[in-house]
């Protein structure tokens, strides 16, 4: 079996890359170890930056994003019993769209299949090899499907297979550098069948810990609480969750409690930052979580993945047209945005989460910085610029 670009992983990165390559006349095969139903049900982040939203529209897969997504022109920072709105549109002229990653995956799968795309579910990639052919080394993916091993010969392999996939592990260990940070807290996240009580996301810094008020739709709320690492969700009965959300989201002189409803999902997410350099070795390229992880505070994980594959589609098109330059620069170019997003996510995380190991001095510095953002148009503008997405140069 042979294709031009072998893509491992049918998340938004792998699927969007396959679609973008199709639009440029480049064939691909997507291998995904899970079944289609699993891919279309995975709950992930749902904030789409201004640039990736425009790219989805331009690629013809933005109809449902525009019809069902919720445009957000700002967020609220809540601390000290007060709320402070950061107006993205006024500060940057841009906005973001709240649209679940699950729905993006559904849209892309449907479009690829309608276009005759080769998506192979329940096909687990087991090895990436170099095979000598006509005096050159070409990559090959070994995978198992239906209990049988098969091989896929490619011009290039793009690993969009996440943090635990085989793509990053296939890079030569002596040529790779990794950078990592773990945080002394996690997020307890819930989905609740309750209409959101606010129109925009609320990021709350409270002495008891951080809370985030988000939403999935007009009928479903997505909420998070800062909890210690190693927390067992069983330690948090539903009444305790609601009481803690009420306390952390409180506003002086107003009823700011979230609407309550049946909790349909509870999970704990550790907070970590991770970067692999380089994101390319020969004809093996990494994109998305295979190359970098960010804490979810800055809403950057999905967006970095989409930016990676937008770059890759352009670079692979140039390579097949005889210009290797953009592909040679892919890692360097992608990493500039990655490190900007890593810093912003780190900054948002350390700004809004009381550190259980911090001194009273550091707590006061956090509050002073938040007051500065609330009072300074320049400081608020920097937050807005990074949150909505730094434009391409």
Catalytic status, residue 106: no
Give the CA diameter of the chain: 75
Contacts of 167 by beta carbon, 8 Å cutoff, 6+ apart: 8, 128, 157, 159, 160, 161, 284, 286, 290
The two structure tokens encoding residue 136:
């050159």
**Residue 346 appears among annotated catalytic residues:** no
Among residues 203, 213, 224, 346, the one annotated as catalytic is: 203
Which is catalytic among the residues 19, 22, 50, 300?
A: 300
Inter-helix orientation angle 301-320/12-23, to 10°? 30
The structure tokens listed for 177 are: 């550098």
Of 72, 206, 292, 353, the catalytic one is: 72
Task: Assess whether 12 carries a catalytic annotation.
Answer: no
Q: Decide if 129 contacts 139 (C-beta within 8 A).
A: yes
Q: Give every CB contact of residue 343 below 8 A, 6+ residues apart in sequence.
A: none
Question: Are the beta carbons of 259 and 221 closer than 8 angstroms?
Answer: yes
> Cα 316–320–323 angle (5° rounding)?
85
Q: Is 228 a catalytic residue?
A: no
Considering 22, 296, 317, 346, which one is annotated as catalytic?
296
H or E element: which one contains 388?
A: helix 377-388
- Least Cα distance to 100 among 41, 55, 38 occurs for 41
Kindly state the tokens that stand for 207.
């002495």
Peptide bond into 19 cis (omega under 30): no
Tokens of 170: 């296939």
For the question of residue 181 being annotated catalytic, the response is: no
Element housing 242 (H / E): helix 238-248
**Do 59 and 19 meet the contact criterion of CB atoms below 8 Å apart?**
yes
Cite the active site residues: 72, 203, 296, 300, 387
């Amino acid at each position: 079996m042979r294709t031009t670009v072998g893509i491992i992983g049918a998340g938004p990165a792998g699927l969007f890359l396959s679609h973008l390559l199709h639009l440029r006349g480049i064939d691909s095969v997507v291998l995904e170890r899970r079944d289609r139903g699993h891919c279309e049900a995975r709950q992930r982040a749902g904030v789409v930056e201004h640039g990736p939203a425009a790219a989805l529209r331009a690629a013809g897969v933005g109809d449902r994003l525009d019809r069902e997504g919720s445009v957000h022109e700002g967020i609220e920072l809540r601390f000290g019993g007060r709320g402070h709105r950061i107006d993205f549109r006024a500060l940057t002229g841009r906005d973001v769209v709240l649209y679940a990653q699950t729905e993006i995956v559904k849209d892309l799968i449907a479009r690829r299949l309608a276009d005759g795309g080769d998506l192979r579910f329940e096909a687990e990639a087991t090895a990436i090899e170099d095979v000598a052919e006509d005096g050159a080394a070409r990559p090959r993916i070994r995978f198992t499907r239906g209990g049988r091993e098969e091989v896929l010969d490619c011009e290039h392999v793009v690993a969009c297979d996440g943090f635990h996939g085989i793509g990053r592990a296939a890079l030569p260990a002596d040529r790779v550098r990794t950078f990592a940070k773990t945080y002394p807290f996690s997020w307890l996240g819930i989905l609740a069948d309750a209409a959101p009580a606010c129109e925009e996301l609320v990021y709350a810094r409270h002495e008891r810990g951080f809370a985030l008020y988000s939403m999935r739709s007009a009928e479903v709320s997505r909420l998070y609480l800062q909890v210690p690492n190693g927390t067992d969700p069983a330690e948090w009965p539903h009444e305790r969750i609601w009481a803690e959300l009420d306390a952390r989201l409180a506003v002086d002189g107003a009823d700011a409690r979230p609407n309550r409803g049946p909790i349909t999902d509870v999970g704990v997410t550790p907070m970590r930052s991770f970067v692999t350099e380089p994101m390319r070795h020969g004809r093996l390229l990494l994109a998305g979580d295979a190359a970098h992880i960010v804490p979810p505070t800055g809403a950057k994980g999905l967006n970095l993945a989409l930016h990676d594959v937008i770059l890759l589609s352009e670079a692979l098109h140039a390579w097949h047209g005889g210009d290797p330059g953009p592909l040679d620069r892919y890692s360097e170019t992608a990493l500039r945005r990655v490190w900007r997003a890593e810093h912003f996510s780190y900054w948002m995380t350390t700004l809004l989460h009381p550190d259980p190991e911090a001194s009273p001095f550091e707590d006061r510095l956090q509050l002073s910085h938040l007051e500065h953002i609330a009072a300074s148009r320049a400081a608020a503008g920097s937050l807005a610029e990074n949150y909505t997405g730094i434009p391409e140069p």
